[in-house]
Amino acid sequence: MSLSKLKPILSKASPILKVLFAAAIVTWMASSGKLNFAQVAKSLSEWPLMLGIVALAYSQMAISSARWKLLLDAQEIRLPYGRACGLTMIGMLFNMVIPGAVGGDLVKGYYITRAAAERKSHAATTILMDRVVGLIGLLFLGAAGVLMNLDETMRTAATRSLGLLSVGGTIGGLVGLYAAVFIGEKLAAWHFLPGVLRNVFRALHEYRRKASAVPIALALSVANQACTCVIYYLALRATGIHDMPAGQFFLVVPLGMVMTAIPVSPGGIGVGQAALFALFQIVSPRYAAAATDAMTVMQVMFILVCLTGLFWYLSYKHVELETGGVK
């Protein structure tokens, strides 16, 4: 069979294979004792903690919507905050359907580029920018925790490596982001680059016109990811863990959450459990089993929150947006 005929088959099979991959990881972890479904069920009955998780999850949605609207405004795309919230919830819904934490971004990208037809490249670039500043915010939170708990970070060669990964990732992400913003126009002039990539660099360069947009977006990202860490902490408490040192927590959890963004399973299911188990095995093995249970509790509650995105999905109506003075 030729490669051209094989590609459509692989494209259709990929989502199924990724779901099977996630199921295989979860099954293996459960059968090997690394994931305890009985403990997960018991933890879910801790309703005050679960209500706290739900409240924080919706707070994240509100912060994420404000950040995305800010990035859209800087590109002269006028999206009302209510519609930003609706599209964010639709994206969260599809994160649970399309493999990988970036699946919902594709759906949001479809809606926003359709609504901002005059500035499609700029609209699509806000999705990319939103994802990048979100990851940098998570790494920044980890780096801040590392620097505030240097004794824990310097304890072993492995913990030093994890600390360096958080700090280096934050610095590298910030340098790369600002380089793209400040020299985007020059990069867009490189004719050997694909047209899509040149359009992205051109759109990124426009953030120079509103210099406050990027740092405010980064600050909102840190607040958003702080909610993520608190949610995980509440899930961990629900499993019975109350004494984890802050240094160990921030050395491991932000990096583990970054791994869930890898598009190999729906909503990072399976990947998050495996990543956190491996990281905790390095830093504090006695918490490793609870870490996987807590991740599962967190994902169950997120699935419930994300399912409320059905309301926005079913009620969504297409509206042409004002873009740079053009209807």
Q: How many domains does the chain have?
A: 1
> Does 281 have pLDDT greater than 70?
yes
Task: Give the lowest-confidence range in 26-30, 44-48, 116-120, 137-141.
Answer: 26-30
> Does 133 have pLDDT greater than 90?
yes
Residue 305 lies in a domain: yes
Report which listed range, 16-30, 185-199, 219-233, is most confident: 219-233
Task: Give the lowest-confidence range in 14-23, 123-132, 149-158, 315-324.
Answer: 14-23
Average pLDDT over residues 195-199: 84
> Does 151 have pLDDT greater than 90?
no
More confident residue, 192 or 157: 157
Residue 326: beta bridge partners?
323
The range of the structural domain enclosing residue 205 comes to 43-316
DSSP-derived secondary structure letter, 46: -
More confident residue, 320 or 3: 320
Residue 25 lies in a domain: no
Average pLDDT over residues 215-224: 96
> Does 46 have pLDDT greater than 80?
yes
Residue 38 lies in a domain: no
Report which listed range, 86-95, 211-220, 274-283, is most confident: 211-220
pLDDT at 136: 95
Residue 63 lies in a domain: yes
Residue 1 lies in a domain: no
pLDDT at 9: 46
- Predicted TM-score (pTM) of the model is 0.84
Q: Calculate the average pLDDT of the chain.
A: 84
CA-to-CA separations, 2 to 8, 12, 13, in angstroms, rounded: 11, 16, 17
Distance (Å, whole) CA 177 – CA 20: 35
Report which listed range, 79-83, 91-95, 110-114, 268-272, is most confident: 79-83
CA-to-CA separations, 130 to 55, 146, 255, in angstroms, rounded: 22, 24, 18
Report which listed range, 105-114, 209-218, 311-320, is most confident: 209-218
Average pLDDT over residues 134-152: 90
Task: Give the lowest-confidence range in 59-68, 231-240, 260-269.
Answer: 260-269
* Virtual torsion, Cα 29, 31, 33, 36, nearest 10 deg: 80
DSSP-derived secondary structure letter, 77: E
Q: Torsions phi, psi of 183, nearest 5? A: -120, 20
pLDDT band at 229 (very low <50, low <70, confident <90, very high): very high
Residue 184 lies in a domain: yes
Distance (Å, whole) CA 183 – CA 271: 35
pLDDT at 38: 78
* Virtual torsion, Cα 120, 90, 268, 235, nearest 10 deg: 140
Residue 80 lies in a domain: yes
More confident residue, 218 or 193: 218
